[in-house]
Amino acid sequence: MRKLTIGLVGAVVLAVAAAPAWSDTLTIGVRVETSSVDPHFFNSPPNRQISDHIFNRLVRRDANERLQPDLAESWKPAGDKTWEFKLRKDAKWQDGSPITVDDFLFTVERSPNVPGSASTPGRFYKNKKFKKIDDHTVHIMTEKPYPLMPNDMSVAHLISLKHGKGTTTEDYNKGKGTVGSGPYKFVEWVPGDRLVMVKDPNYWGDKAKWDKVVYKPIKSDPSRVAALLSGAVDLIDFVPTQDAPDLKKNAKVRVWSGPSNRIIHMWTNVGRSVVEEVTDKAGKPIRPNPIRDWRVRKAISMAIDRNAIVNRVMQGSAIAAGQMIPPGNHGHDPAIKAEAFDPEGAKKLLAQAGYPDGFQVVVNGPNDRYVNDAKIVETIAGFLSRIGIKARVLAVPKSVYFSRMAKGHFGLALMGYGSDTGDGSSSLNNMMHSQSKGLGLGAVNRGYFSNRTVDELTKKALYELDQAKREKLLFQAYGEAMKDLGTIPLHWQVNVWASRPGIRYEPRKDEQTVAEGATKE
């Protein structure tokens, strides 16, 4: 196993053993390991939860996704098309040097251009111009009035110009240049085994609650639970839904749960006229791709019993969905209900579309990314078989899965999406709008969905300052996108954590498992 290390502290305890006595070390067992220590390499919850300890953003979001000051002590409009952000004068990098607008401008330059990254947070700097007013004041300008600027500034973590110039992702992983501004200092990352951080005693903000934090990747659900019960770890995420009821009764465990902003949905490949994973019953390609027909997508949606998935597969730890935005978030339309289970109606639609005997399709999914992901894919394949669609399941590790999805040859694909910015428009901008690199929209539109009405409403909502008018536009855009079934929503996850007695954890809507959310009772 390759060891990545930096000597920020003297002796570091490398092995994590069961420790019955209290210590100031918090050991966290996580299902999904970060893919890099580079804060700009991949914009995902497992990566962001590591970066949040070592680095800061201009604006942060609390457990309920409310915006809070971080490196920016304040922000305000400075004209119709300009926002002004004031950086803290007391904020320091971990080497003691001041944080200035120059560091922010370097972050703006570097973050969208990280080699090998499929999804950098730098896309939130697109279509913006930046002007340094002084060392601690920056103006950000757009072509049109833009209400979501503070939300966009809550995504990318700032890096040091002094230490980041010329620093590669591999350098960050080894600790070279990994000088942040956060409450914890990076110590080492041993991929597949541990990531270690220690408290920065000179942190400019509220002091860290723990002297040391150790992240232990434990992919196996039973092994993660066993590690908690044995005392090898203090806190775990992604508590298996089938184990949660018994764990709640166990005096040696505390269980914490809360709603997620993550929608689990099924991408339908509507963008390609021929898809190698969509064939007739004899295995021959179908021209044109039947999934491009709205009636086929509607039949697939009607064939899925969402309540069965919620109650049986998810053991109640989910909420059936008919749209992308969860209840309680801006843009959620209570009038849009989850699709009713209607297999007979689905068969009729297939026949109307010209496929009375169905066809064959591969139902793809990861087997180590979302809660019960492989089981969900298998269940959906079973539902499809009942309406005459012969479905083959392909569930693979996330590292393989997302690489395959990027090539666009799939038929149906299980995906999850949680808001990057905490705003209800996030999935609309990134998933439902046609792919448009120039505008920075449709960045994760994996199904190549394109609807002119959705695009027009999305752009209007993006620049509407009046919140009531903006919400109405979001309702209209999501209503059209869900009617056209650009993707098929299934359910919103309910996040579940478990800890040792004496440790309280504050559930987060963004799924992140962070040390500062864990406190001693």
Residuewise pLDDT in 10s, the chain (521 residues): 333 433 333 333 333 333 334 469 999 999 999 999 999 999 999 999 999 999 999 999 999 889 999 999 999 999 999 999 999 999 999 999 999 999 999 999 999 999 988 789 998 998 899 999 999 999 999 999 999 999 999 999 999 999 999 999 999 999 998 999 999 999 999 999 999 999 999 999 999 999 999 999 999 999 999 999 999 999 999 999 999 999 999 999 999 999 999 999 999 999 889 999 999 999 998 999 999 999 999 999 999 999 999 999 999 999 999 999 888 888 889 999 999 999 999 999 999 999 999 999 999 999 999 999 999 999 999 999 999 999 999 999 998 998 888 788 899 999 999 887 878 788 898 899 998 877 778 888 989 999 999 999 999 998 898 889 999 999 999 999 999 998 999 999 999 999 999 999 999 999 999 999 999 98
Cα–Cα distance measured from residue 357 to residue 390, given in angstroms and rounded to the nearest whole number: 10
- 351 and 210 within one domain: no
Question: What does the pLDDT read at residue 21?
Answer: 40
- 208 and 264 within one domain: no
- 247 and 329 within one domain: no
Whether 374 and 401 have beta carbons less than 8 Å apart is answered as: no
- 399 and 304 within one domain: yes
Question: What does the pLDDT read at residue 49?
Answer: 96
- 171 and 248 within one domain: yes
Question: What does the pLDDT read at residue 403?
Answer: 85
Whether 315 and 242 have beta carbons less than 8 Å apart is answered as: yes
- 242 and 342 within one domain: no
Cα–Cα distance measured from residue 8 to residue 11, given in angstroms and rounded to the nearest whole number: 9
Cα–Cα distance measured from residue 385 to residue 379, given in angstroms and rounded to the nearest whole number: 10
Question: What does the pLDDT read at residue 457?
Answer: 96
SS (H, E, C) 166-200: CCCHHHHHHCCCCCCCCCEEEEEEECCCEEEEEEC
Cα–Cα distance measured from residue 408 to residue 435, given in angstroms and rounded to the nearest whole number: 13
pTM metric for this prediction: 0.81
Radius of gyration of the chain (CA): 23
- 110 and 65 within one domain: yes
- 512 and 389 within one domain: no
- 404 and 276 within one domain: yes
Half-sphere exposure of 36 (CA within 13 A, CB side): 21
Cα–Cα distance measured from residue 474 to residue 468, given in angstroms and rounded to the nearest whole number: 10
Q: What residue ranges in 344-417 does DSSP mark as E strands?
A: 360-366, 390-396, 412-417
What total number of domains does the chain contain? 2
Question: What does the pLDDT read at residue 19?
Answer: 37
Residues 6+ apart with CB under 8 A from 138: 84, 85, 87, 101, 104, 105, 130, 131, 132
- 233 and 143 within one domain: yes
The CA–CA distances, whole Å, from 479 to 270, 282, 295, 338, 423 equal: 18, 37, 17, 12, 17
Question: What does the pLDDT read at residue 158?
Answer: 98
- 324 and 240 within one domain: no
Q: What are phi and psi of 501, to 5 degrees?
A: -60, 140
- 57 and 154 within one domain: yes
Cα–Cα distance measured from residue 315 to residue 307, given in angstroms and rounded to the nearest whole number: 10
Q: CATH code at 473?
A: 3.10.105.10
**Tens digit of pLDDT for each residue in 309-352?**
999 999 999 999 999 988 888 888 999 999 999 999 999 999 99
Among 296, 488, 473, CA closest to 376: 488
Which domain, by its residues, includes 457?
Answer: 260-493
Cα–Cα distance measured from residue 77 to residue 426, given in angstroms and rounded to the nearest whole number: 21
Sheet holding 82-87, edge to edge: 72-77, 82-87, 137-141, 129-134
**Tens digit of pLDDT for each residue in 56-93?**
999 999 998 899 999 999 999 999 999 999 999 999 99
Long-range own/partner contacts, residues 224-230 (CB < 8 A, 24 or more apart): 224/29, 224/31, 225/498, 227/29, 228/29, 228/253, 228/498, 228/499, 228/500, 229/253, 230/18
Q: CATH code at 45?
A: 3.40.190.10
